[in-house]
Amino acid sequence: MRIQRILQEKEQIEQNSIDLSELKKYIEKYRGKQGNVIPLLQAAMALYGYLPELVFTTLEEELGISKSQMYGVATFYSQFRLAPVGKHIVKVCHGTACHVQNATALTEALEEALEIADGETTKDGMFTIESVACLGCCSLAPVIMIGDEVFGKLDGNATVKIINEIKLKEKE
């Protein structure tokens, strides 16, 4: 019961902090147009970095698009996220070459250093760990990618060192 209340409060805070004014412009732009779900969700992603529940509620109310249809699209395409992500998304490749070179050790080291599980974001909003398929640089396996920078031939310690360097830079 208490957890339910906390979740409701959290959702309320999140909803109160979302500015819908820009989204409303897109709603007008795509009102009544065929195939408007994807461009509207893309616009919301660009505005908020993820798809807050309030976006689905607003699009349903304003345009009559059902939430189930929008969730179907949002969960099918990897470009859409249903939860906020950190400033730095640490993509850990778990493609075949990286898996063979023990990519799991990188994920485990990150989970321990950042105190979150794969797919989660740190409380300070700095880091998200994300498992991905082949990043296209298998000769460097095992590989992680942060932003558009690739780091290869890593082990757990080297991976944590990269994270610590980013943390230091953030403090400067």
Compute how many residues bind ligand FES; rule: CB under 6 A.
Answer: 12
Whole-number minimum distance, CB 117 to ligand FES, in Å?
A: 21
Q: According to CB under 6 A, which one of 135, 144, 154, 163 is a site residue for ligand FES?
A: 135
Whole-number minimum distance, CB 78 to ligand FES, in Å?
A: 16
Place of tokens 């979302």: 18
Q: Which structure tokens are listed for 4?
A: 């339910």
Q: According to CB under 6 A, which one of 106, 109, 143, 144 is a site residue for ligand FES?
A: 143
Q: According to CB under 6 A, which one of 105, 126, 138, 162 is a site residue for ligand FES?
A: 138
By the 10 Å C-beta count (0-12 exposed, 13-18 middle, 19+ buried), 158 is classed as middle
Mention every residue, 6+ apart, whose C-beta is less than 8 A from residue 142: 92, 93, 98, 101, 102, 103, 105, 106, 152, 153, 154
Is 96 an interacting residue with respect to ligand FES (CB under 6 A)? yes
Q: Specify the pairing of strand 149-151 against strand 88-93.
A: unpaired
Cβ proximity to ligand FES: between 45 and 138 the closer is 138
**Given the rule CB under 6 A, which residues bind ligand FES?**
93, 95-98, 134-138, 141, 143
